[in-house]
Amino acid sequence: MVGLVLLTSCKKETSNEDNPPTQNETQNKAKADSFAVFTQGKILQIVDFYAESGVIYNDTTLETETQLFARYVPNWVQQAEMTLHDSKVDIKQGYYKYPYDTTTILHRSYDVTYDDNGVYFIYLTHDYKPLKYTVVEWDATHIKVYVLFKGTRLFTVYKIV
Per the domain annotation, does 105 fall within a domain?
Answer: yes
Number of domains present in the structure of the chain? 1
Report the C-alpha gap between 159 and 161 in whole angstroms.
6
Range of the domain at 153: 43-160
CATH of the domain at 139: 2.40.128
Per the domain annotation, does 37 fall within a domain?
Answer: no
Per the domain annotation, does 145 fall within a domain?
Answer: yes
Task: State pTM to two decimals.
Answer: 0.85
Per the domain annotation, does 116 fall within a domain?
Answer: yes
Q: What is the pLDDT of residue 5?
A: 31
Contacts of 144 (CB under 8 A, 6+ apart): 135, 136, 137, 138, 155, 156, 157, 158
Q: What is the pLDDT of residue 12?
A: 61
Q: What is the pLDDT of residue 59?
A: 65
Per the domain annotation, does 14 fall within a domain?
Answer: no
Per the domain annotation, does 107 fall within a domain?
Answer: yes
Mean pLDDT per 10-residue run, the chain (161 residues)? 36 61 89 97 97 77 84 95 96 97 97 96 95 98 95 96 96
Per the domain annotation, does 34 fall within a domain?
Answer: no
Report the C-alpha gap between 117 and 115 in whole angstroms.
5
- What does the pLDDT look like over 52-90, one tens digit per residue? 998 776 666 667 889 999 989 999 999 999 999 999 999
